[in-house]
Structure 1
Amino acid sequence: MPADTMKKIVCLLGSPRVNGNSERLAKAFVIGAESQGAKVRFFRLQNMNIKGCIDCRRCWENGKHCVINDDMAQIYEAIDECNVIVFVTPVYWYSWSAQIKVVWDRMLPYISEKAKFTLKDKECILLATAGDVYESAFNGVLESFDRSISLLGLKERGKICAYNVYDIGDIEQGDWLDRAKELGININK
């Protein structure tokens, strides 16, 4: 595939655990995507200064996505330039981790009537992990993800919800990493 058609991917890691199950799942996806020439920007949200949305409705004031001056500006820039957004989260209390929830809340500029950029027709992927032994642990995240991407105009390219992976390294059991790598390999198709 020509270089100008290769995907630009933003990977938003919402886990506070370094090299935990969520991160390993994301890295498997990235290995697959990069093997096909995709360019990936990886954001470890735990290490970033991202404040919560204040619902001031001043999106795009002064030509910026948001009036809050923090590290979300880097994420906005990367999202504006990408083709694919990968949302990576462990499930905490049947929902998003705090690290990634704040990013979701700050997506408001993309649906503002003053929006200079939208996410319409960009692609997205969900990579989620949970220690729970039941797949139903993902119901809250899946409901939020589906409704949010619909509102934003994103096109879903895949979801992997790896359950029964609590301790670091549990993700190595089963075929979760192979599935993530395969999803990455197929992202340019």
Structure 2
Amino acid sequence: MKVTVITGSPHKKGTTALLADKMIEGAQEAGHEVFRFDAAFENVKPCLACEYCSSHDGECVHKDSMSDFSHQLVEAELIVFVTPLYYFGMSAQIKAVIDRFHASNAKIAGSKKAMLLAASYGPDDWTMTALEKMYESMLRFLNWEDAGKLLATGCPVREVLEQTDFPQKAYEMGKALK
């Protein structure tokens, strides 16, 4: 299976970097092809809603990292979103990538699976509710199937996350991909 992992954290060794690393490790051990796109370290301009893509076969007016990345989205069978929780939603870095899906909607809608891996400072059971709703709405719009969620609440820093079973769960999610 072709797996594309999109990360949204500006911390190369942070909580969600660990979740992404573990999920990728499991997926690769299971024989899957994995491509990782670290949005915070790429040149991704925000969508302008200019509709240039509508009259140019999905090509965006911006010539940035998304130009090369868009073919990965089209080819992927599974898209994994990995984000820290920033004020009850995805980070701006990963959201900018998702907003740019607009140019490829016709090419990426249907017959894909998706996963959500997230980490938050807050431990409350409602902490991830808004993030989950956004993810579920995106899947509904794109007609993608949910392949799983891992919501690591109460993990403000990597050292705390490392003391939980969340990294192992991320690994197992990758290993169990079919």
TM-score over 0.5 (shorter chain): yes
Structure 2: stretches of 5+ with no match in the other structure: none
Tell me if the contact between 2:58 and 2:104 (Cα under 8 Å) persists in the aligned partners: no
Equivalent AA in structure 1 for residue 115 of structure 2: I
Structure 1: stretches of 5+ with no match in the other structure: 1-6
Match of 2:89 among 84, 87, 95: 95
Partner of 2:40: 46
Structure 1 stretches of 4+ moved >4 Å: none
1:135-179 deviations in Å (ceiling 9; x for gaps): 311111111000011101111100000011112222112210111
1:80 maps to 2:70: no
1:21 maps to 2:41: no
Shift of 1:110: 3.5
1:8-65 deviations in Å (ceiling 9; x for gaps): 1110010001111101011110111000110111111111110111111222533343
Shift of 1:130: 0.2
Q: What is the distance in 1 between the residues matched to 2:51 and 2:58?
A: 13
Shift of 1:131: 0.7
1:126 maps to 2:111: no
Partner of 1:32: 26
RMSD: 1.3
Per the normalisation by structure 2, the TM-score is: 0.95
Q: Give runs of aligned pairs for residues 144-159 of structure 1, distance below 5 A.
A: 144-159=134-149
Partner of 1:171: 161
Tell me if the contact between 2:28 and 2:34 (Cα under 8 Å) persists in the aligned partners: yes
Tell me if the contact between 1:90 and 1:129 (Cα under 8 Å) persists in the aligned partners: yes
Please, which moves more after superposition, 52-61 or 86-95?
52-61
Per the normalisation by structure 1, the TM-score is: 0.89
**How many pairs were matched up?**
178
Q: What is the distance in 2 between the residues matched to 1:10 and 1:74?
A: 13
Shift of 1:67: 2.0
